[in-house]
Structure 1
């Protein structure tokens, strides 16, 4: 029986995966009996799961077991958990050193998703960005992630109308292309009151074992503390921290560079 508020078919599909995970493999009849559904219903559930490679049928026995799709999902989760686990101590130390808010963000479906945040001693009631989707063109993490996408993906974003958040938000494609090029050349990106009035930020890339940019490390603070003129010096500190996180998750410049 599903929990209140759940979708029955999804709830049953999840139960099927749990049964197979518990038993190693199972038959349509056994799954139907445990779920207390007709065999045809169990068969349709398994067919849907098989279409996404979440289960696979063993021809020799007629039973089913978990498929490679489960491994893909597990790998994606493990990658994110590994990133936050390794980045956490570095972010905490960086936030303490700079006294400002430090975030780690990853690219997902046209946005930057924050997966870790550490607050410095100078921050007061700073918004918790973990789990939030933020735009690419008006945030430092977003610009850094955008700068390392495939060129087609960059052009797709620049071809769409870009939302203006403050009078300083850059919405022109030509200027943004120049900023993305600078971010790639300098190794860091910045925003000056482009997403929120009075808030500045700078971001650096976090690289995975293959050398590709898998996340962005950023520090943000009010303009009276994190003034535009101080951003290059802050970026140098940030780059060292980003390099440390990259090293922790398997990047080796002497091997991949």
Structure 2
């Protein structure tokens, strides 16, 4: 059971330590289940940062995404947040600012907006070699609106492991885990989805 104090902290302050106390164990289990690294990211100001990573503990080779800020257009953790929090996109003057990290990076603002629409429909974002060659990731916001829309969880690995089939399999699983975590945090995901669906 989650203590009343933890629920109050996470609901009102959303401090990193309080969030990790609840979320990190679930990410650790997911990392062990899928054999890839899982991460938690959150919106800070105008940027999304990866704040925690759990890695598989079986000694199998994996890719670590690192911590820190990610570009809004070239990382699944950022795109998952930006798709459900439009103010992230519009608070940044992105016209002509979408840097190409690889030949797969989306650098056209209209293409990015179209991708955000797809992300909203299926519930998760992908990054396929867009920020670094050979690296792929899949992420989903904790909720489609409210505090959960400013945070995302996801998984990262090599393009060899993150095939289209694997991404289609793990994407819905990440969405499911995200919704479970939102419910545990006391955020009314069902109500959020009704609100989103009404617009």
What TM-score range do you get, normalising by the shorter chain?
0.7 to 0.9
The question of whether the paired residues in 2 share the 8 Å contact of 1:192 and 1:228 is answered with no
**Map of 1:167-178 to 2, 5 A cutoff?**
167-178=103-114
Alpha carbons of structure 1 residues 157 and 249: separation in structure 2 relative to 1, 3 Å: farther
Q: Counterparts of 2:157 and 2:118 in 1: how far apart (Å)? A: 22
Equivalent position to 1:154, from 72, 89, 96: 89
Return the offset for 1:169. 0.8
Please say if residues 103 and 114 of structure 1, whose CA atoms lie closer than 8 Å, have aligned partners that are also in contact: yes
Count residues with an aligned counterpart: 180
Give me the TM-score of the superposition, normalised by structure 1.
Answer: 0.64
Does residue 113 of the first structure (1) align with residue 49 of the second (2)? yes
Q: 1:229 to 1:126 in 2, by over 3 A?
A: closer
Displacement after TM superposition at 1:244 (Å): 1.7
User: In the alignment, what sits opposite 1:124?
Assistant: 61
Q: Which residue of 2 aligns with 1:181?
A: 117
Partner SS, residue 115 of structure 1: strand
Q: Distance in 1 between matches of 2:73 and 2:89?
A: 10
| 1:209–1:250 CA contact under 8 A, matched in 2 | no
Q: Any idea what SS the aligned residue of 1:221 has? A: strand
Change (3 A) 1:253 1:159: same
Paired position in structure 1 for 2:77 = 141
How far apart are the structure 2 equivalents of 1:208 and 1:171? Answer: 25
Cα 1:86–1:97 change in 2 (3 A) is same
Structure 2 distance, partners of 1:211, 1:111, is 15
Gaps of 5+ in 1: 1-74
Secondary structure of the residue that 1:207 maps to in structure 2?
coil
Change (3 A) 1:207 1:181: same
**Pair 176,255 (structure 1): closer, same or farther in 2 beyond 3 Å:** closer
Shift of 1:150: 3.2
